[in-house]
Structure 1
Amino acid sequence: MKKTNGRWWVVALLFVATTINYMDRAILGIAGPSMMKDLSLSTVEFGILGSAFFWSYALMQIPVGMIVDKLGARLTYSIAIVWWSLCTVFTGFGRSLGALIGIRVLMGIGEAPAFPTNTRVISDWLPPHERGVANGIFNSGTAIGIGITTPVLAWIIESWGWQTAFVVIGSVGFIWLAFWLFFFKDRPSQSAIANEAEVAYIEDGQTDTKDVPVVNISPFKFLKYRNVYPMLYGLFAHNYLTYLMMTWLPTYLVVEREMTLLKAGFFTMLPWIMSFLGNILGGILSDRLIRRGWNSIKARKTILAIGMLFPLAIIPTIYVENAIAALILISIAIGGEGLAAGILWATVADVAPKGAEGKLAGLQNFVGNLAGWLAPVATGILVSQFNNFTIALIIPVVICGIASVAYTFFMKNQRISLDADIGKGNNLASGL
């Protein structure tokens, strides 16, 4: 029997969900110049508004990791996308800083389950040698959501106002929900889109994980293991760069590079197109190394370390006067870092014990999204203090460089095993 390709339809659903997720986040940055003018917001106040989403989003990562492992991906995602889509719609009706902050905090709660759920789905639906590409595909939705839709959002804002843009974009999630409920089941064996041959192929490919005992543990228990720390810091570094650019790049192009909003919306696509390509390429390269016999963690961390060096290309933007040249350098930085972004979540599935992917993904997303607390606000303060973006742009370069070193020298090439820790209680050597 020829196997079906239902698993790739599932990956496509995750890609669209991630696109919607980041489109709903990124619209604030695109609407920023109009909102600041309309609501008389300072750069610091707008930075606080940009950060508010991440206050709840980061804090919710620990419980949602446990929730997705308990309730399953189908139900968790359904609740999440309804919640965050409604919050996006309601943002269009906010007329004060306090109200908008409250809505963004609620939105952070709604979006919190997305990436831990994606990670669990990839672990359940794909064998290890396909997870890099699968993660690259769904994570590339971040680039589409942030950048490729920017001209359309800018056009809506210019034509009908920022309030209308939030209402229109917030409505898209309900369309996705109908497809999710119709096609997706928590396990391939339960789904009509995967035949017996595909189910057998998926399960046979998971021989490296399916015999690992499932243990109900606290996510914080993973802090005992050395491999976790480069992962936590690596996502923090990636997110700092991403959230800075997501919140401030359109404003940077309008204010510092003197572009119109429509022109900035068009040119903002370039860095995220590069990021989209980087996400896919990172997954392809790491999976190819695995097929050649590399240890899966070694393959992932090699690409992660290389990708985290590309933000160095941001430094010359400080010295170039031409706006297009600066944007090209930023595009190289974001696109190259996309090599790492595409497999940050594949690494969780390789490192976590089977059945605990959601917990480790939640812990990683909690620490990683502390960058969302810092990047928007710190950038607003630095821009206000120095009247330029110079220092604000140097910070993510340094942070990402440190992440490259951490992946190279501190991450070991082995999965976390809880057997010795829980069974014997006296040996963490396999993870330390």
Structure 2
Amino acid sequence: MKKNFRWVLAVLMFLITFMSYMDRVNLSVATPEIMREFNFTKMDIGFFQTVFFMGYAAMQVPGGILAEYFRHRIVVVAAVTWWSVFTALTAAASTFSQWVIVRGAFGLGEGPVYPALSTFIARWFNPAEKGKASSIMLSGAFVGPVFGPAATVALMLAFGWRSVFVIFGVAGLLIAVAWMIFAKNSPKESPYVSAEELKYIDEGRNAAEEDKKELAPWKSFITSTQFWAIGIQYFIVDYIMYVYLAWLPLYLMEAQNFSLAKMGIAASFPWAALCIVTLSVGAFSDRLVAAGASKAKARSYLGITGLVLCSLFLYLGAIATNPTLNVFLLTLSLGSLGLAFPASWSACIDLGGKFSGSVSGWMNFWGNIGGVIAPLLTAWIATNYGWQAAIIVTAVSAVIGIIAWLFVKPDIPLKRGEAKPNGAPSTCL
């Protein structure tokens, strides 16, 4: 265990991201029951989803900055604890305003987690392992929706929809305690890391420099085309993913006439495909780089290929008239999007280095602006023009992400500005 303790923490990271997406998908699956009990409309539910993403997006950049300065440990623990409390409180919401407050606060809590975990990956893993580690982080998120629909439906049928939020809220608190105990800020601080493992982790890097507390040179970053490009492409990647997350269960029931029980099974297939592809692609991307391929090929080409295939299969799914074929094509579409996720997060570490928390926070901020827009825009299109139109618009949006990937250029790290007179790196905001 001591020899590979970083992978033990990777499993715990997997559980954190798994729980984060279980907590999100629970609302989507419980939506029909919640709409029935409170007489909420699609627009109401879309607004609750959007309020979550507003809070979530708002904490991306601050979360990255906090994780770089105060380190990942305290930020992850605080974030998981906060969101777990408000997950449990969702069961107590009974009015429209209470739902808005609880879901918005839930979003604020989840916001810092992925930027903080990005700084954990950057410090705890050898540079040749960042694609694989990023895939583990992301696959936890995508396993959540695989098991979420069936597990949530089972709990709803047995104990009612409120039980789902209470159970997962408590589970999140237990995971926060585990991270506090086992995940130190640096591997050299951990009693579970051997000298051999520490030496391997620190190969090819300046560990002392990376352990310094510094703020990212935002003045330099904000003027970079690459910095904007990685944000724009992820806006599209997340926009498509959040259309699935927010509306797939209701879409299958309304547009494809699935029962609640059958929907719980069918809705898991696209997420299973996304998880499998995401897990496979990160390690494959690292092997490409190790074999001498450029990071443009290992990251950008995979991202572009994923968006092209995702768009094609999503369009074909939208026009498919057979429910089984529809689910099959939607599964291929979301699975293809799995090529883009590890590429995006690995590119953040390529571009940002020790400031990967800020870069990933920036990228995830724009991704979750897509999350803010996706639930409401999709609800509006589906309400006024039908589900087919809503899915086709989602498919066409991929073109923007494809173009943006051409400007990411992960082979070229972001410029960090000029050094201060004393030789210390710039820490300007």
Q: Shared fold by TM > 0.5?
A: yes
1:417 to 415, 418, 422: 415
Hey, what does 2:48 align to over in structure 1? Answer: 49
Give the distance between the partners of 2:55 and 2:64, measured in 1 at CA.
Answer: 14
CA contact (8 A) 1:154 1:265 kept: yes
5 Å-filtered alignment, 1:319-338, equals: 319-338=319-338
Hey, what does 1:164 align to over in structure 2? Answer: 163
CA contact (8 A) 1:73 1:121 kept: yes
Give the distance between the partners of 2:319 and 2:390, measured in 1 at CA.
Answer: 14
5 Å-filtered alignment, 1:227-246, equals: 227-246=226-245
Q: 1:215 to 1:186 in 2, by over 3 A?
A: closer
Hey, what does 1:349 align to over in structure 2? Answer: 349
1:391 Cα deviation (Å)?
A: 2.0
5 Å-filtered alignment, 1:66-145, equals: 66-145=65-144
Q: Which amino acid aligns with 1:143?
A: F
Hey, what does 1:401 align to over in structure 2? Answer: 399
5 Å-filtered alignment, 1:21-32, equals: 21-32=20-31
CA contact (8 A) 1:61 1:366 kept: yes
1:287 Cα deviation (Å)?
A: 0.5
Deviations 1:263-303 (A, max 9, x none): 10111111011000111122022111111112335421221
1:218 Cα deviation (Å)?
A: 5.4
Hey, what does 1:380 align to over in structure 2? Answer: 379
Give the distance between the partners of 2:142 and 2:164, measured in 1 at CA.
Answer: 19
Hey, what does 1:366 align to over in structure 2? Answer: 365
CA contact (8 A) 1:4 1:198 kept: yes
Unaligned runs of 5+ in 2: 422-429
Give the distance between the partners of 2:265 and 2:272, measured in 1 at CA.
Answer: 12
SS in 2 for 1:25: helix
Q: Which moved more, 1:258-267 or 1:202-211?
A: 202-211
Give the distance between the partners of 1:187 and 1:271, measured in 2 at CA.
Answer: 36
Q: Which amino acid aligns with 2:343?
A: I
CA contact (8 A) 2:314 2:329 kept: yes
Q: Runs in 1 of length 4+ with deviation above 3 angstroms?
A: 207-215, 217-221, 295-298, 419-423
Deviations 1:304-328 (A, max 9, x none): 1111212120111222221111011
1:421 Cα deviation (Å)?
A: 7.5
CA contact (8 A) 2:252 2:258 kept: yes
Q: 1:201 to 1:392 in 2, by over 3 A?
A: same
1:419 Cα deviation (Å)?
A: 4.6
Hey, what does 2:427 align to over in structure 1? Answer: none
Q: Which moved more, 1:404-413 or 1:172-181?
A: 404-413
Q: Which amino acid aligns with 2:44?
A: E
Q: TM-score, normalised by structure 1?
A: 0.92
Q: Which moved more, 1:110-119 or 1:161-170?
A: 161-170
CA contact (8 A) 1:27 1:166 kept: yes
Deviations 1:218-255 (A, max 9, x none): 54641211211221012111111111111100001111
1:410 Cα deviation (Å)?
A: 5.4
Q: Does residue 187 of structure 2 align to residue 184 of structure 1?
A: no
Q: 1:219 to 1:110 in 2, by over 3 A?
A: farther
CA contact (8 A) 2:350 2:411 kept: no
1:211 Cα deviation (Å)?
A: 7.9
CA contact (8 A) 1:3 1:196 kept: no
Unaligned runs of 5+ in 1: 424-432
Hey, what does 1:286 align to over in structure 2? Answer: 285
Measured on the aligned residues, the alpha-carbon RMSD in Å equals 2.2
Q: Which amino acid aligns with 1:368?
A: G
